[in-house]
Amino acid sequence: MLGHVSAEARRDVATALLVVDDSRHSTSLPECVSLFNMVILKKMTLSLSALAVGASLLAGGAAMAGSARSTNDATSADRLDAFVRDQMQRADVPGAAYAVVGPEGVRLEGTFGTDGAGDPVTAATPFLWGSVAKPVAATLVVLLADDGLLDLDDLVVEHLPEFRAADPAVSDRITVRHLLEQTSGIPDLLTLTDRYDDHRPSDVVAELSDVDLVGDPGKNHVYSSVNYLVLAAVVEEVTSRPFADVLDERLLEPVGASSAVTGVVDEGRLPPGHRYVAGRAVPFTTQIDPAGTAYGYLGGDLHDLAAFAQASLPGGPLLTDDERTRLTDPAVETGDDSAYGLGWRTWEVPGTGDPMVWHSGAVPGYQASIVLLPDRDEAVVVVQNAYGAFQEPELLDTAWGLATIRSGGEPELSGAGPTYPVVLGAFGVLAAGLAVLTARSGWRLVRRRSPRGRLGVAAWLVPLGLVGAVAWMVPGLFGVDRDHLPLWAPDVAWLLDATLVLVAVLAALRVAITAREWISAPPRVDSRP
């Protein structure tokens, strides 16, 4: 999960300069995400995203499926449905669903469009939730603490003796609470997330021994999905059971989230999601990180997420008011009028000033958000079957816009910004130019024609080397591992790969042409007497 740095960081700059949160992930505007949460490629959108006020009340295209409602409040339902349809067209989302939830259960709901297999989205269609998994995991940890299995102020090394960073004297001071609040100092390491080989959270913990922390524990908020990977390992240690099994038994089943997607065993139930290629959503089969349930690879249908939202509201099932307060109370400031609690963000509803407690998230192919509205004793949940690092602000607008409408305001929508078309256009033109030069050089080599102008090989290799170096370094400049870039921005990844291949082929052709000229050149005649 680009949890995951994410668009979350648009206001939560400290967190995001990861997020991008989510983005990692995250996501949250972020994650994420983290996530794709990312923390990440998401940085490319933060500086260029601009807000524009507008009311989106018109119905979208006829291809969208009609919404299902659980209330006779037709005026409110119609307005929310119209807004979601409009957002789906704006961001080219094939399928989505939302619910407005109170302590008593679902008040309004709507389902729209189709899943990645072409079937209509219903309230029973499963989605992945990305970094929305973080408040779920935090809730489980608080429940286990009240069960006496651990204390939030326990040192992590008390439960995981193998837990070490590069400086053990610092990492030994990290507590469970620091992980929950994202103040451990562990950086967002995309090489440790979104991995689909067979591994457990404890395997990832063992890979932290060479990691340099980015701050003292408890001092600064640094959004990182790795915090929640370590939490999953703690849970498995104190319960002697897989994290997903404990989550099901202690939290999800009791609140009514009976069809949740909690691991690789559920991959077969998950329809394809969508990634963006040239701005259009394209079906993509999402894999599940077997160690990632706590940070992003958790999911379920609309009612599963609504059930968790209901439990998080005062008067909802399972949790006590004290537990809810501990989870959602601001613990560390992350920016102006924004804070992070135990897995929850606290901001203001855009355009209203009302408080909201929220998280969003994404994994390749899916995006989700949960927003608690304390002044209304209700929540808004949204699931969507598309995600792209550049499209995250528009995707997040859907949940925020619904929350704003429910709070009596008008949605403030993010501008798409020029970053995505500029990046695609620049690398597209570069790749096309290299392709033309490669074709011309290949033709000259085959036809054994000497090039006019006879540029020396160095005149070719130096600029080609610079171009190749830049193309190779671009993902790292934005915190993205080259292996992960296709998950979050496949079209950009393909153009970069094409650029690198063309640079290598063109360089080889120029060397071959120069070598042929040297070999075929007539011997020099000494004309001296």
| Predicted local confidence at residue 513, as pLDDT | 83
pLDDT band at 451 (very low <50, low <70, confident <90, very high): low
Beta carbons within 8 Å of 429's beta carbon, 6+ residues apart = none
pLDDT band at 517 (very low <50, low <70, confident <90, very high): confident
Q: Does 314 have pLDDT greater than 70?
A: yes
**What's the one-letter identity of residue 413?**
L
| Predicted local confidence at residue 478, as pLDDT | 65
Q: Name the packing angle between helices 457-477 and 419-447 (round to 10°).
A: 150
| Predicted local confidence at residue 483, as pLDDT | 79
Q: Three-state SS for 358?
A: strand
| Predicted local confidence at residue 21, as pLDDT | 38
| Predicted local confidence at residue 67, as pLDDT | 41
The mean of the pLDDT values for the chain is: 84
* Rounded Cα–Cα distance for residues 309 and 151 (Å): 25
pLDDT digits (tens, 9 = 90+) for 358-410: 999 999 999 999 999 999 999 999 999 999 988 999 999 999 999 999 999 99
Q: Does 11 have pLDDT greater than 80?
A: no
| Predicted local confidence at residue 472, as pLDDT | 86
Q: Three-state SS for 378?
A: strand
Beta carbons within 8 Å of 400's beta carbon, 6+ residues apart = 349, 350, 369, 371, 411, 412
Which comes out higher in pLDDT, residue 474 or 411?
411
pLDDT digits (tens, 9 = 90+) for 99-130: 999 999 999 999 999 999 999 999 999 999 99
Which comes out higher in pLDDT, residue 398 or 351?
398
Strand partners, 370: 359, 381
| Predicted local confidence at residue 28, as pLDDT | 36
Residue 389's Cα: distance from chain center in Å? Answer: 7
Residue 464's Cα: distance from chain center in Å? Answer: 33
pLDDT digits (tens, 9 = 90+) for 135-180: 999 999 999 999 999 999 999 999 999 999 999 999 999 999 999 9
pLDDT band at 33 (very low <50, low <70, confident <90, very high): very low
Q: What angle do CA 278, 280, 283 make, to 5 degrees?
A: 115
pLDDT digits (tens, 9 = 90+) for 234-260: 999 999 999 999 999 999 999 999 999
| Predicted local confidence at residue 14, as pLDDT | 31
- What pTM was computed for the model? 0.82
Q: Does 46 have pLDDT greater than 70?
A: no
Average pLDDT over residues 476-489: 77
pLDDT band at 458 (very low <50, low <70, confident <90, very high): confident
pLDDT band at 1 (very low <50, low <70, confident <90, very high): low
| Predicted local confidence at residue 88, as pLDDT | 97
List, in sequence order, the alpha helices (H) in 240-356.
Answer: 243-247, 253-255, 302-311, 321-328
Looking at the chain, the number of H-run helices and the number of E-run strands are 18, 14
